[in-house]
Structure 1
Amino acid sequence: MTSYQLEIFEQIPGSYELRLVAPDGAVKTRSVPRAVVDDLVETVDRYYTEHAIAPRVFGSTQLQDIGTRLAGFIDGDNGWLTPLLSPPGTTVRIVAGQRLRHLPWELLFDNGSFPAVDDRAALLTVRTRGTRQVHTDSPLPSNRPLRVLFMATSPEGVEPVLNYEAEEAAILAATARTGTALVVEESGTLEGLRFLFRDYGAGYFDVLHLSGHATVGADGEPVLLLENEFGGLHLATADQLVQAMAGHWPRLVFVSACLSASASTDDAPLSLGERLVDAGAPAVLGWALPVGDSAAIEFAAELYRNLADGQPIDAAVVAARRHLHRQKSPAWHLLRVYADDTPLDAMVTPLHTTGRAQLRIRHADQQFLDPRTMVSRVAARNRFVGRRRVIQRCLRTLRRPDSQALVLHGMGGLGKSSLASRLLERMPTHQHAVWYGRVDMSKFRELTDKVAFPTLTKHIEAMTLLSQDVVPLSVRLRYLLDANGPLGDLPCLFVFDDFEDGNLEQQDNGPVLSAAMAEILPALLGAIRDTGSTSRVIITSRYRFPAPTGSGLTVESLESLTDVEQVKKLANLPNLRPGSPLDQRIRVRAIQAAAGNPRLLDWLDLIVADATTEPDELLTAIEATADRFREEILAEKLLGSQPPELRRMLAKVNVVELPVPASTVTAMHDHPSADRHIERAVQLGLLEEGVDHDTRRPRYHVSNVLRPLIRPLLTDDEYVEACAAAAQSLYHLWVVEPTNREY
C-alpha cells in the first residue's frame, strides 16, 4: 500500500498546521483555525465514547456525520483527500498531538462510503509515535510459516468469561491451509510471558497475541487484567508488560482487549498501544472501545489468515476490517493501529515460495487413536474447552525439577485423555510417546517407533539399549535418558492412557500396579529422577494407586464441568447448542442427564440428532443412554462392591449440588471411618476431588450422573437430615467464621 504521512501540530496559539508528506517526499502545508479543531474534538467526545450509543450501531448516521467532518478536515479547500483514495490503497501515518491523534480517523466518510473498508482503494490510518521519517528499509519476510505466541487471560471472578478457546480454534482454522506455529502461554501471567520469550529467544515469534480484558483506571492509566500464580486477578500496567518483554518485541503485538487502544482527547496518559510502541514494539493493534467476543474472534481469524498467507501487515488489517464490515458488525471501526517507522510489510512468504520451510507438527489428538477403529478418542485442539486452572496446575507440575509423573484421575468420561492431549499440545518442545491400555515390556519397546530421533544412529542406539534384557530395565533407561544418551537432548512426554485397563490389579486395599507395570513405571520414574531429565510421565486413570517408592508423582483429580465450561462445550455441539432447532424440552433433559460429563454430553448430542423420532421416544433414549453410560464407567458395579456405609456417604454428599470441603462431608457422614470412606471413594473415582481456588484445599462432589444409583439408598428422613447437616456446616464455615473458612 502507498504510504503518506499526515502531521498535525499547533503552530501558534489559535492555529494548527497540517503537513501532508507524499511517498516521493513532496510536502503540502496549510493552516486550520483552533476553533475548527475544538469543534471537531467536542463532537467526537460527545458521540464516540465508551458509553455512547452510536459506536454500537451498525450504519449509525452519527458515525457518518463524524466521518464526514473528519474527511472535510483533511480535505480542506485543496482536495488533499483525493490522492489518498487512489488504488490500490493507502496507509496514512498520522503524527499529531493527543487531542487529534485519538480522533476516530477510521470513520473517514467520503462520497457515501467509508474509505477504511472500500473494496477498491482502502485507506488505513496508523497512529505513528514521533516525527521520524517512514521511508526506512523493510525487513525481509521469513521464508517459513507464521509464528504466533498466543496468551489468553481469564482471572477468577472477572466477568464475562471470554471464549479464548474459540479464538485459538478460529485462528488455527483460518490458517490451516498455510499453517501457523501457534504457541500458547497458558498461565496468563507476566512471568509466564517473560519465560517463553526468553526460552524461544529474540526474533523467534512474528506476533504476540494477548487476549483478555483491559480497562483504564481512575488515574487514566491503562491496565491489563492478567492472572497471578493461582489464577487470581493481577492488574498489569504497560510498564510491567514492557519489563516482562525485556526488549524481545516481535514485529506485531495484538492486544485484543477492550479499551487497549483507548485514550481521551485531552492530556490524559497515553493508551496501552502507544506505551508499547514507545517501549520498542514496531506495531501494536488494539481496540478503542469495548468490543464483543464474537467480533474480536472474527477479526483475529481474518487477520491471521492474511498474515499467514504472506500479506503485508497493513493489507491484513484492512482485510480483517472489511470482513467485520461485511458481517455488519458495529465493531468494524474500533480497531486501531499504532506503529513506529518500520514499514508494515509482510512477515512471512506465501505458501508456495521456493524453499519455504514446512510446518512439521503431528497433532496430539492423532496420537490417541482407538486401536480398533483408528479414530481419535479425544477432543481435537479446536474442540477442547475449559479446565484452565487444572491445565495451569498440571503444567506447573510437569515443569517442576522434582517432578517425574502426573496422574490425571477421575470418573470415566470427564476428559482425562483429552486433557492429556491438551498438555502435549502445550509442551511443543517435547516428543510424544503414547500407549493405550495394558503395557508390558514388548509394548514398551515400541517407544523407539513413537519418538522421532534426530539421527538413525540415535534410533539404533535406543533400540539396542531397550533390547538388552540381561541388564535391569532401570539401568537401561538411565542410559537412554542420560545427557549423552539417545534421549539426552530429546525430552519426551511418556503417556499411559486408560491406565486402569490392564496395568492395575485389585487387592483388598485397592488397586496396585500389575506385575509388568511394577517393573516399567518405577524404572522409568527413577531414570528421570536420577538423570535430571526434563522428560515426564503422564498417566490417565479412573483409579488411584500407590506411587512407586521415591518417585515424584502428583495426582490431579478432575471434576465435572463447571457451568461456564459446560456453556462453552455446548456451543460446540450441533444439536444441544443454544439456538438449535431441537425441542427445548429434549435439550434441557439431555443437558441435565449429562450432569457436566463431557463424554455423556457427546453421546446425548448424537442421540437427539434423529429428527424422525418422537419427543417421548427421545426422552426414553436419553435415559437409556445415561444408564448405558453408568454401566460403561463401571459405576454400578463399583458401587455394588463397596461397603453400605460408603455408599450411604455418597448419597448424603450428593444432596449438595456443589463441591464441599472435607469438614462438611464428615458433618453429613458422621462415621468413625469417614476419612477412609472419602479416601476410598476418591481412589475409585466415585467421589470427585477438586481444589478450592481460595483455600487451595481439597473439595468433594458426587456427580449427578450417579444420582439414580445412590438416591434410593436414603430414606426421605435421612435425606432431610443430610441437607440439615450440610446447611449447618456450610453456615458455620461461610457465615460464623468467614475469616477462617475452608471453602
Structure 2
Amino acid sequence: MAEELLKSCAKAVLGWGQKVLDSDATAAAAALYQELSAGKQTAEAVACTYQALIKNKARDWHLLRLYAASNLPGSLVTPLRTRGRKPAPTPSVATQFLDPVGKVKVPTRESFVGRRQLQNCLRILSQSTNEVGVLIHGMGGLGKSSLAARLCDRLPNFERVVWVGRIDEANLVSRLAEKLDDKEQRKSLQNYDEELRFRLRRVFQQLHEEAKPFLLVLDDFEVNLETSPPTPLRGGEGSQVPPFPAREGGLGRLQSEAAEVLTALVWAIRDNFTSHRVIITCRYDFEFTQLQYFYKQPLDALQGADLQKKFNRLTAFSAKSQVDEALKSQAQKLADGNPRLLEWLDKILQNTTVDQAAILNRLAADPVELREQVLAEALVEQMDTTMREMLSRGLVFELPVPRSALAAVCDTIANLELEHYISRAVALGLLEVSHDEALRVPRILPVQIRSDGEALYKQAAEVLYRLWWEEAKTAIEEQQLEIHRLALLGKEEKKAAEIASSLANHYSLQSRYREAMQLCKSTLEITEDYRVLKYIGYSESLVGEVDKALKHYERALNLCPPGWQLSPILKNWHQLSVYFELS
C-alpha cells in the first residue's frame, strides 16, 4: 500500500510493518504529532517518536516504518514565534450557523457523524472544475447545516462566509465587503451603478489571483423559494399536488431576487474559472437552471455504523447509560435515525424529573410534536391522495431500497405518474435518498401501511429477494434480515427458511448462537423447515439446551429429503443422545 501511495504522488507514508498493540500505536501518534506540530523536520520527528517508544518500553517500536519518495518532506508547520508566521485559520465556523433565536444549531467537529457525504462534497469543492458548488438537501434535522459547517472546517484555505436565511443583493454585497481588506475592492463591489455579476466577476478574479477564494454558504435556503396555492397535477385531472414550495415540473422555484443573486454568483465564478465555491443547504431540491453546475447531495436518516456512532455520543443512548433499555429502544424507534430527533429525545431521557415513559407513549400515539421538529406543517397538510398512497406503500420497507423495489409495491399507480411523484417526494424531502440512490420513507410522516398488509409484505419480500438475493447475490446481513422480516410478515415460507438457514449458519460461524436461535425460532412459527431445525438444534446444543436440541435434530431428520447432509445431523444427534443419557 505504501508503494502505491507513493506512486500516487504522496511524498511520504508512515505505517506499521505488522499488527501492533493499541497502546503502542496511540503512544506513537501522540509523540509524532507533538514533534511535527512543534515544527521539527519529518525525519527528526520520526526519530523522536522511536525514542519515546523505547523510553516507554513499547514492545513493537521497531515496526514503525517511514517510506519516502525522491524527496523527504521537511517541516510541515512553521514553528511558533517565527518572524512572518501566518496566523492559524479559525478552527471552526460552527458559531456562525444560528437558528432563528440566535443559538448555534450545529454540533461540534468532534460530534459530527457522516463521513461519506463529507468526502463526496469535499471532492467537488476542492477538485472539480465542472461544478461551482454543492446543494445539500433533505428533511429537517438530517444534518444539512452540520455537514456544511464541517465542510467549512475542512477547507481552511477559503475565506468562509455563512449567510442564513433570505438572500438579497444589498445584504450579500455588504457581507462580502466585510471580508475584503482592499479599499478599492470594497468600493468596486459596492458600486450599485454596475450590474452585480460584473462587480462580482472583477472582485472574484482579483481574489483568485491573490489565492484568497471565497466559500459562500447559503444556509436554510428554503425561505428563498416561492409558495403558491395548490395546483392540479395535470390540466385539472386528479387530486392536487402539494403546493409547498411552488413548483414547476414538480420542483419549487426561486423568488426572483434570490434567483438574480444566485445567477450572478454562478456566472461570476464560471466566467473566469475562478476557485470560489458555493454551498447551499435547503430542505427541498428546486427548479433553477444554474443548478446544473452544482453537485446535489441528498441526506438520509442515519443507518448502521453512523447511527451507532451517534448513539455513542449521546448520553442517554450510550452503552454506559443508566436509562432503561426499553425506553432507549422506544426512543430510537421514534427518532428513526434523524439526528435532531435523537438529540431532542436524549434530553427527555436524561430528565429524571418527568415521566419519560408517559412522554414517549404520547409521542408514539400522536407524533405531531415530533413532526414539528423536522417537517413544515404546510407540507404535511397538503400531501394529496396519490402521494399518501405511494408513501404508505413504501413504508413496508425499513431499509433504503432500489427505486425499482418501490415501484414494484406501488403497482396501483401508473408508471409515469409514479415517476413524477417519486421525484416530487425526493425534492420535498418526503423520500430519503441514500448514497447509492436507494429510497426510504421516513417513519415520521403521517402515513400508515395499508390495511391489506400481508399481501403488501409478500410483494415486498418477493421483489427484494429477487433484487438482493437472486440477482445481486451480495446481500449483506442487514439486507438479508430485511428480506426475512418481510417474508415472515408476508407468510413467504420458502424464502423465510432459505434466508434464515443462511444467516443462522453465518451466526454460528461467529459464535452468535443466541441470535441464530432467535432467528430460527421466529421462522419456525410460519414453517417447519429441516434446515432451520438443524441450525436451531446446533445452536441450542452449544448453549447447553440439550433437550431442545435433541427434539429439533430428530424433527429435522424426519423432514429432510433422502440423502440431504444426514451425516452431520446424525453425528451431532448421536453425541447429544449419549450426553443426555449420561447426564
- TM-score (norm. length: structure 1): 0.54
Counterpart amino acid of 2:33? Y
Alignment partners' CA distance in 2, 1:386 and 1:338: 31
Alignment partners' CA distance in 2, 1:632 and 1:372: 14
The match for 2:37 among 308, 312, 316 is: 308
CA 1:666 to 1:350, structure 2 compared with 1: closer, same or farther past 3 Å? Answer: closer
The match for 2:423 among 667, 676, 679 is: 679
Alignment partners' CA distance in 1, 2:247 and 2:77: 62
Residues 349 and 356, structure 2, Cα contact 8 Å, conserved in 1? no
Q: Is 2:542 the partner of 1:542?
A: no
The match for 1:370 among 82, 98, 105 is: 98
Counterpart amino acid of 1:678? I
Alignment partners' CA distance in 2, 1:550 and 1:584: 46
CA 1:318 to 1:615, structure 2 compared with 1: closer, same or farther past 3 Å? Answer: farther
Q: Is 2:340 the partner of 1:591?
A: no
Report the structure, 1 or 2, having the larger helix content: 2
CA 1:621 to 1:528, structure 2 compared with 1: closer, same or farther past 3 Å? Answer: same
Equivalent position of 2:371 in the other structure: 630
Where does 1:552-591 land on structure 2 (aligned, <5 Å)? Answer: 552-591=293-332
Alignment partners' CA distance in 1, 2:322 and 2:472: 46
Equivalent position of 1:498 in the other structure: 220
Residues 414 and 558, structure 1, Cα contact 8 Å, conserved in 2? yes
Kindly state the Cα deviation for residue 394 of structure 1 after the two structures are TM-superposed: 1.8
**Partner deviation per Cα, 1:461-484 (whole Å, 9 max, x = no partner):** 3322332223222222222222x4
**Partner deviation per Cα, 1:668-715 (whole Å, 9 max, x = no partner):** 1121210011011111001012232xxxxx221112233xx211xx43
Report the structure, 1 or 2, having the larger strand content: 1
CA 1:243 to 1:625, structure 2 compared with 1: closer, same or farther past 3 Å? Answer: farther
Alignment partners' CA distance in 2, 1:669 and 1:321: 66
SS in 2 for 1:724: helix
Equivalent position of 1:242 in the other structure: 6
CA 1:305 to 1:625, structure 2 compared with 1: closer, same or farther past 3 Å? Answer: farther
Q: Is 2:235 the partner of 1:507?
A: no
SS in 2 for 1:500: helix
Residues 321 and 333, structure 1, Cα contact 8 Å, conserved in 2? no
Kindly state the Cα deviation for residue 429 of structure 1 after the two structures are TM-superposed: 2.2
RMSD between aligned alpha carbons?
A: 3.6
SS in 2 for 1:432: strand
Where does 1:616-655 land on structure 2 (aligned, <5 Å)? Answer: 616-617=357-358, 619-620=360-361, 623=364, 627-634=368-375, 636-655=377-396
Residues 600 and 629, structure 1, Cα contact 8 Å, conserved in 2? yes
Equivalent position of 2:193 in the other structure: 470
Equivalent position of 2:403 in the other structure: 662
SS in 1 for 2:280: strand
Kindly state the Cα deviation for residue 727 of structure 1 after the two structures are TM-superposed: 2.0
Residues 365 and 379, structure 1, Cα contact 8 Å, conserved in 2? no
Equivalent position of 1:732 in the other structure: 466
CA 1:442 to 1:662, structure 2 compared with 1: closer, same or farther past 3 Å? Answer: same
Residues 646 and 677, structure 1, Cα contact 8 Å, conserved in 2? yes
Residues 607 and 621, structure 1, Cα contact 8 Å, conserved in 2? no
Kindly state the Cα deviation for residue 487 of structure 1 after the two structures are TM-superposed: 7.1
Q: Is 2:447 the partner of 1:710?
A: yes
Alignment partners' CA distance in 1, 2:85 and 2:167: 37
Alignment partners' CA distance in 2, 1:549 and 1:333: 56
SS in 2 for 1:434: strand
Where does 1:144-543 land on structure 2 (aligned, <5 Å)? Answer: 224=1, 238-245=2-9, 248-249=11-12, 253-255=13-15, 260-262=16-18, 289-292=19-22, 296=25, 300-301=29-30, 303-305=32-34, 308=37, 313=45, 314-316=47-49, 333=60, 336-338=63-65, 353=81, 355=83, 357=85, 359-370=87-98, 374-388=102-116, 390-398=117-125, 399-449=127-177, 451=179, 453=180, 456-457=181-182, 460-482=183-205, 484=206, 489-505=211-227, 506-509=245-248, 510-543=251-284
CA 1:362 to 1:468, structure 2 compared with 1: closer, same or farther past 3 Å? Answer: same
Equivalent position of 1:56 in the other structure: none
CA 1:335 to 1:504, structure 2 compared with 1: closer, same or farther past 3 Å? Answer: farther
SS in 1 for 2:218: strand
Residues 430 and 491, structure 1, Cα contact 8 Å, conserved in 2? yes
Residues 434 and 494, structure 1, Cα contact 8 Å, conserved in 2? yes
SS in 1 for 2:295: strand
SS in 1 for 2:334: helix
Kindly state the Cα deviation for residue 441 of structure 1 after the two structures are TM-superposed: 1.6
Kindly state the Cα deviation for residue 738 of structure 1 after the two structures are TM-superposed: 3.6
CA 1:356 to 1:291, structure 2 compared with 1: closer, same or farther past 3 Å? Answer: farther
Alignment partners' CA distance in 2, 1:553 and 1:415: 19
Alignment partners' CA distance in 2, 1:644 and 1:337: 64
Kindly state the Cα deviation for residue 496 of structure 1 after the two structures are TM-superposed: 0.4
Kindly state the Cα deviation for residue 626 of structure 1 after the two structures are TM-superposed: 5.9
CA 1:239 to 1:299, structure 2 compared with 1: closer, same or farther past 3 Å? Answer: closer
> What stretches of structure 2 of length at least 5 have no aligned partner?
228-244, 480-583
SS in 2 for 1:428: coil
Residues 474 and 524, structure 1, Cα contact 8 Å, conserved in 2? yes
Residues 363 and 370, structure 2, Cα contact 8 Å, conserved in 1? no
Alignment partners' CA distance in 2, 1:321 and 1:722: 65
Residues 434 and 450, structure 1, Cα contact 8 Å, conserved in 2? no
Kindly state the Cα deviation for residue 295 of structure 1 after the two structures are TM-superposed: 7.3
Residues 303 and 317, structure 1, Cα contact 8 Å, conserved in 2? no
Alignment partners' CA distance in 1, 2:49 and 2:78: 14
CA 1:507 to 1:300, structure 2 compared with 1: closer, same or farther past 3 Å? Answer: same
SS in 2 for 1:588: helix
Equivalent position of 2:432 in the other structure: 688
CA 1:587 to 1:359, structure 2 compared with 1: closer, same or farther past 3 Å? Answer: farther
Kindly state the Cα deviation for residue 296 of structure 1 after the two structures are TM-superposed: 4.3
SS in 1 for 2:160: strand
Alignment partners' CA distance in 1, 2:300 and 2:86: 39
Paired-residue identity, %: 32
Kindly state the Cα deviation for residue 498 of structure 1 after the two structures are TM-superposed: 0.6
Equivalent position of 1:701 in the other structure: 440
User: May I ask how many residue pairs the two structures share in their alignment?
Assistant: 446
Residues 543 and 684, structure 1, Cα contact 8 Å, conserved in 2? yes
Where does 1:31-46 land on structure 2 (aligned, <5 Å)? Answer: none
- TM-score (norm. length: structure 2): 0.68
Counterpart amino acid of 2:7? Q
**Partner deviation per Cα, 1:113-149 (whole Å, 9 max, x = no partner):** xxxxxxxxxxxxxxxxxxxxxxxxxxxxxxxxxxxxx
SS in 1 for 2:398: coil
Alignment partners' CA distance in 2, 1:365 and 1:604: 26
Residues 404 and 552, structure 1, Cα contact 8 Å, conserved in 2? yes
Residues 364 and 425, structure 1, Cα contact 8 Å, conserved in 2? yes
Kindly state the Cα deviation for residue 661 of structure 1 after the two structures are TM-superposed: 1.4
Q: Is 2:457 the partner of 1:723?
A: yes
